[in-house]
Amino acid sequence: MYSAKIKITLRKSILDPQGKAVEHSIQSLGFKNILDTRIGKYVELKIDTNSDEEARIVTDEVCRKLLANQVMEDYVFEVESVSAGK
């Protein structure tokens, strides 16, 4: 069993109004030294396989086909082996 942790972020060139809104909120709480806030998605999933390589291939395919919009978003992921009960 493998666990994949995927971070999906808007490409740097794409405006992030949600991030801007959060940044304003943070600053109005008094944190004046916070800049460049950007919001993305975080996805965790389990892959029922014993192969590190298969886990990577499947995760990458799921990201490309479903989770990330590659026109606007970038994704990075890491996979690690976990025991089935976890």
Contact string 18-57 vs a copy of itself (x = CB under 8 A) = -x--xx-xx--x-x-xxxxxxxxxxxxxxxxx--------
Distance between CA 45 and CA 48 in Å, rounded? 10
Which residue's CB is nearer to a copy of itself, number 18 or number 71?
18
Q: Residue 59, Cα to own-chain centre: how many angstroms? A: 12
Can residue 68 be called a binding residue for a copy of itself (CB under 8 A)? no
State the maximum Cα–Cα separation within the chain, in Å, rounded to a whole number.
49
- 3-state class (DSSP) for residue 83: coil
Judged by beta carbon, residue 19 or residue 56, the one nearer a copy of itself is 19
Query: Of the candidates 50, 60, 72, which has an alpha carbon nearest to the alpha carbon of residue 6?
Result: 60
Note the residues at the interface with a copy of itself (CB under 8 A): 5, 7-9, 19, 22-23, 25-26, 29, 31, 33-49, 58, 61-62, 65-67
